[in-house]
Amino acid sequence: MKQILLVFLGGGLGSVLRYIISKPLNFYFTNFYLGTFIVNILGCLLIGLILGLSLKNNYFSENQILLLATGFCGGFTTFSTFALENNSLLKNGDLLAFALYTTLSITVGIIAVSLGIWLTKLN
């Protein structure tokens, strides 16, 4: 139960910070989602730093990783997790899985958004 609460707390904080950063930037830069882009890249950098420090010298406990990487970065941006997973596939040399996962995630994600929007217009 403690682990779920840590993810919940981190996710909530990450989501609020994402909103605070991306909302004003996306408002001023309407042709490019600069706020979202910055948040996604910062999230990737942050999750890399957290996991890198943890792997290098056990800097973070399992609970701290849940709070910061899974919770905060997951709430701040799911793109960080996506990038981390792709990095893992590349490190393992699984180029086919990397190509499929990346291509399908982006393509199917965009299709799913379009489908959701279309479904809301049915009624």
Structure tokens belonging to residue 9:
């707390």
DSSP state of 72: I
33/24 Cα distance (integer angstroms): 10
Contacts of 92 by beta carbon, 8 Å cutoff, 6+ apart: none
Tokens representing residue 10 in the block: 């981190």
Q: Is 107 annotated as a binding residue?
A: no
- Distance, in Å, from the CA atom of 11 to the CA atom of 15, rounded to the nearest integer, reads 6
Q: Is 70 labelled as part of a ligand binding site?
A: no
Token pair belonging to 26: 């996306």
**Strand ranges (E), the chain:** none
Name the residue type at position 90. Answer: L
Binding site, annotated residues: 74, 77
Q: Which residues are annotated as a binding site for Na(+)?
A: 74, 77
